[in-house]
Amino acid sequence: MELRHLRYFQAVAEEKSYSRAARRLRVAQPALSRAVKEVEAFLGVMVLDRSRHHVRLTDAGALLLSEAANLFERWDESVQRVRRTAQGEEGELRLGYIGPTTEPFLGRVLQEFRTSSPKVSIHLEERTPERVWEMVAKRRLSAGLTRPVLSHTALGLRTLVLREEPLGLALPSTHPIASRPTVSWSDLNNQPLIVLARREGMSLHDAVMAGCRRAGFIPRFAHTPSLISTVLNYVEAGSGWGVVTDSVIRPSSPLRFVPLIPAASVPLVLVWHEDEDPPPLQRFRELLLAWKKAGKLWPKIVE
């Protein structure tokens, strides 16, 4: 028995007439009669009491009509859910991210995404940069907002660069050089530096090492914590000079960001697995691209 058999039965039962049901469905009347007989043969019961002058439901037929209405309602809902899922309006988005760097935009962009895709379930996980791409590579996350890794192609990952983030010093606002427009890399020589640990932030750590080597010295690290927020806490406590990206210093922070020259930067990327690109992720990526094009990801103060 097929769904169309139930559709035909439903029309005959509701119209209480084969001829009216045939006109409603725009099918030949004999086709309706055959369909109802096939329904009865499949169920092994009579569902219509028919004579030359009337068509009436049996008790079994009345129950079948009620159940058919429920079935078609659920079927229509299922069809709509499938279509919404295919369009990225329903499903799941598991997003990993690195904290302070994404703070200027992540909440705002997710709010718009939820408005446009209210049926998509969003799961957020804040992790270190290396941990984010590792979890994406293992398919535990749909995507991640993180730093790039050199091995992303070998891991089957694709990336979208959202911004090249300038490097600079994080210093207390009362520090003697905090008011400078820029600081040279050579000024970092023999200073106690606080930088994210390489195992947790390879791109940032390596960029700092490269900048110092180009300036002709090997940096002296006072601390190499696992979280950028810990880097900022050390700086605020006066434990050294933090080397960070501009996006981690908020306007309300007691710290100041002083750009380093020659200029250097590290990218922030969206990373996802090339074999897994579900519709919700596609819609989220399209939204990020639109925000990037419109200049909405970061406030003007850090651009």
d(CA 216, CA 269): 30
Reduce the DSSP state of residue 56 to 3 states and report it. Answer: strand
* β 183-184/220-223 pair status: unpaired
14 in Cβ contact with 24 (< 8 Å) = no
Q: What is the pTM of this model?
A: 0.67
d(CA 121, CA 117): 9
- Nearest Cα to Cα of residue 136 among 275, 282, 284, 273: 273
Domains and CATH numbers, the chain: 3-86 (1.10.10.10), 92-303 (3.40.190.290)
d(CA 27, CA 288): 50
- Nearest Cα to Cα of residue 221 among 187, 197, 248: 197
pLDDT in tens, 102-117: 988 999 999 999 999 8
pLDDT < 50: residue spans in the chain? 301-303
